[in-house]
Structure 1
Amino acid sequence: MLAGCGFCALYAFLTLRAGAARLHYRDRPLYWRGAALPLVLLALAMGVAGYGLLSGRTPGLFGLSAAVGALSAAAAWFIEQEPNRLVRWAYRTQRSS
């Protein structure tokens, strides 16, 4: 299960990186600021899966980490379809704060 979560993390990172490559260089910092949430969720899922693997007492954590990993990979796929959507969202949140 940890390997499945790792594959989700690798897929999400490579997908987000490919989306960033399609943007203009000045938009990339905003893109990565917006893409931080799926990457943080993947890191959390990897941590939960690692804890479940090391403790051995909590098999339910594997399902939770797999679900979070799959949702983050799906979010990365959705973001990669239109990377400018994420840039617009990050720009709006940056201006409002």
Structure 2
Amino acid sequence: MHGLPPDEIARHLAHLPGWTFDGQAVLREYRVPDFRSALAFVNSIADLADISGQHPEIRIAGPRVTLACSSRITKRVSLQDIQLARQIQNYAETQETLAG
């Protein structure tokens, strides 16, 4: 799996509000009302990840869920990572309890 050049990643992220690129992964933090809501959100993300075959790094800190999409092996962002970020974003936009 090849990584995308930074300018192409930036073009994709222009259509994904709140997502950023740190040089190795595309990232987004979501805020939820509480820890249980964070777990429910992560479980929904796990379903999307399993279907896509891409699995983001997930960090839960209280009511915050941070997602990082990249290849764990190459530490680069692929088109599949961008597609997963888009799926996560689309799902999150349907959830009233999530804030960016």
Give the structure with the higher percent helix. Answer: 1
- Rg larger in 1 or in 2? 1
Higher relative contact order (CA 8 A, sep 6+): 1
TM-score tier (shorter): 0.3 to 0.5
If the length of structure 1 is used for normalisation, what is the TM-score?
0.42
Give the structure with the higher percent strand. Answer: 2
If the length of structure 2 is used for normalisation, what is the TM-score?
0.41
